């Protein structure tokens, strides 16, 4: 998401006590410091526009209310929210909520068939499942604050939770949630019949990711074409459906 960049806003961003980031094509870029903002919080200033992966956080930083708001909600328990499977061409996308244990659900592959990447159907379906998991975990706005991965698929969920009164901060999800969620996603793919899922975060190189992706696409066309996310990264970029000889 981006907004117009005024000279006043640019000055305020320059003054923020966050580390600068070197990003090609930007006039100014800053990242979270791990205290005021998660290390995956990112601001990118261009000549006339400003990009940010979480504008509510930016607003608090610019207004000077960030620390006050963090302290105000520090007494709440934490509910972590993350996703898995967005980069895999097979199956749906899993959402996980972690409080005292992991709760998961899957937005099925049928929601990822649209030719329009910005189609809202899968975002709404993902958000609905994430919200239901928080209810299952008994994590409500008056008991829990939410730390959530800033991935694009979680945008609708973040907005909905904030509208419902949750304290929501983007976060770099690590530890039990990430590990258990990736394991749960691999098990889900195993139920579909696919074995050999490679977590992109654990891959040693881009080549390994590309090989694993193509292997998954080839398997999908052969054994479960209905489980292919045909809108993701363009299935055609790694080859069309094989011809039957």
The pLDDT of residue 131 is 98
DSSP run (H or E) holding 103 = strand 102-107
Q: What is the pLDDT averaged over residues 144-151?
A: 95
CA atoms within 13 A on the CB side of 206: 0
| Domain end marker among 64, 91, 116 | 64
Distance CA 175, CA 98 (A): 11
Residues 104 and 197 placed together within one structural domain of the fold: yes
Residue 85 or 176, more confident: 85
Residues 101 and 199 placed together within one structural domain of the fold: yes
Neighbours of 178 (CB within 10 A): 19
The torsion angles phi and psi of 208, rounded to 5 degrees, stand at -60, -40
Q: Is the pLDDT of residue 245 over 50?
A: no
| 106-134 residue pLDDT tens | 999 998 887 665 567 889 999 999 999 99
Structural domain contains residue 41: yes
Residues 6 and 80 placed together within one structural domain of the fold: no
Structural domain contains residue 242: no
The pLDDT of residue 112 is 86
Residues 139 and 181 placed together within one structural domain of the fold: yes
The pLDDT of residue 150 is 92
Structural domain contains residue 244: no
Query: CATH number of the domain that 163 lies in?
Result: 3.30.420
Residues 114 and 8 placed together within one structural domain of the fold: no
Its sign, for the CA torsion 63, 66, 71, 74, is: positive
CA distances from residue 110 to 106, 124, 193, 237 in whole angstroms, order as listed: 11, 13, 17, 20
Residues 59 and 104 placed together within one structural domain of the fold: no
Asked whether the beta carbons of 31 and 39 are under 8 A apart, the reply is yes
The pLDDT of residue 231 is 72
> Which distant-in-sequence residues (6+ apart) come within 8 Å of 55 by Cβ?
1, 3
Distance CA 192, CA 244 (A): 23
DSSP run (H or E) holding 78 = strand 77-84
Residues 20 and 81 placed together within one structural domain of the fold: no
Asked whether the beta carbons of 126 and 107 are under 8 A apart, the reply is yes
CA distances from residue 119 to 17, 122, 181, 184 in whole angstroms, order as listed: 37, 7, 25, 27
Q: Is the pLDDT of residue 1 over 80?
A: no
Residues 12 and 35 placed together within one structural domain of the fold: yes
The pLDDT of residue 115 is 63
DSSP state of 146: E
Q: 77: domain range? A: 73-237
- End-to-end C-alpha distance for the chain, whole angstroms: 46
Where residue 167 falls (left for φ over 0; alpha for ψ -120 to 50; beta otherwise) is: beta
Name the token pair of 240: 């069309």
| 200-239 residue pLDDT tens | 777 788 898 889 889 999 999 999 999 998 875 544 444 4
The pLDDT of residue 232 is 57
The pLDDT of residue 118 is 57
Residues 85 and 14 placed together within one structural domain of the fold: no
User: The whole model's pTM is what?
Assistant: 0.88
| 34-60 residue pLDDT tens | 999 999 999 999 989 999 999 999 999
Q: Percentage helix, strand, coil, to 5, in the chain?
A: 40, 20, 40
Residue 55 or 2, more confident: 55
């Amino acid at each position: 998401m981006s907004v117009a960049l005024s000279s006043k806003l640019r000055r305020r961003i320059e003054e923020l006590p966050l580390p600068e980031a070197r990003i090609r094509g930007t006039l100014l870029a800053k990242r979270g410091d791990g205290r005021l903002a998660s290390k995956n919080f990112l601001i990118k200033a261009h000549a006339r526009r400003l990009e940010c992966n979480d504008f509510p956080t930016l607003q608090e930083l610019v207004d000077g209310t960030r620390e006050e708001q963090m302290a105000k909600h520090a007494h709440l328990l934490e509910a972590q929210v993350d996703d898995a499977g967005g980069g895999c061409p097979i199956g749906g996308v899993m959402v996980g909520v972690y409080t005292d244990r992991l709760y998961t659900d899957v937005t099925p592959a049928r929601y990822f068939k649209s030719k329009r990447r910005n189609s809202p159907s899968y975002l709404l379906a993902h958000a609905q499942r994430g919200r239901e998991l928080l209810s299952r975990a008994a994590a409500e706005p008056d008991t829990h604050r939410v730390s959530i991965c800033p991935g694009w698929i979680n945008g609708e969920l973040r907005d909905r939770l904030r509208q419902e009164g949750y304290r929501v901060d983007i976060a770099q999800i690590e530890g039990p949630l990430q590990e258990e969620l990736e394991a749960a996603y691999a098990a889900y793919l195993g139920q579909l019949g696919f074995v050999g899922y490679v977590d992109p975060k654990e891959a040693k190189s881009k080549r390994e990711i590309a090989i694993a992706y193509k292997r998954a696409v080839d398997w999908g066309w052969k054994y479960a074409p209905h489980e292919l996310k045909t809108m993701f990264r363009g299935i055609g970029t790694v080859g069309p459906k094989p011809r039957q000889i």
